[in-house]
Structure 1
Amino acid sequence: HDTVKSIDIGGRYGWGLNGTEVHCIEQTVSWFLGTRATARDPDGTCGAFKCSEGAVMYLEETFADAAGGGTNNFAIEANGGTVLKRNHTNIAGTEEVSGAGSIGTF
């Protein structure tokens, strides 16, 4: 967070037991290429990719898999951030937009 600019190539994130696996916040700009995020919170909200507070997240050739035990499983969540996708696949979970967030393509 805090205006960091980052690139992740081929990262594997997941299998945590709570919350969101990849979360970018506070004016960051992040590009994920070939990255996979697997979220499995057994009893609450889980998310694979989340973008908040003015951050921008690029997802290219990525995979999101959010299938926890709770009622809210988000493959992508944009709550105040911008998520842009190219050749992205949601294996499980929904896409959620709130606040000034947005999800689109590039």
Structure 2
Amino acid sequence: MPYVVTDGCIKCKYTDCVEVCPVDCFYEGENMLVIHPDECIDCGVCEPECPAEAIVPDTDGKAEKWMELNRDYAGQWPNLTRKKDALPDADSFKDEDGKFEKYFSAKPGTGN
């Protein structure tokens, strides 16, 4: 039962979660992170670290639609194992709803 990143991460990309992950299962896109569900060990230490509350367990009802996106982009984007600065306007986007349709980018991030 892995955790997944939802659209709450888009335009924020806080990386507090990356810093605590014991198995380095986060992958970086241009404006969000994803978790590789096959690498996640379901420890849950990342969930409370996310200021945008964008990380949910796969048992959460909203996780289902994000599982495939996390799996797909974890295979395309670079691995991120160290904390980086959040995006410049992260705090102003943190509580916005419906960010996927407005802002999602399939471009990869830079990784470590």
Which of structures 1 and 2 has the larger relative contact order (alpha carbons within 8 angstroms, sep 6+)? 2
Query: What TM-score results when the alignment is normalised by the length of structure 2?
Result: 0.26
More strand by share: 1
More helix by share: 2
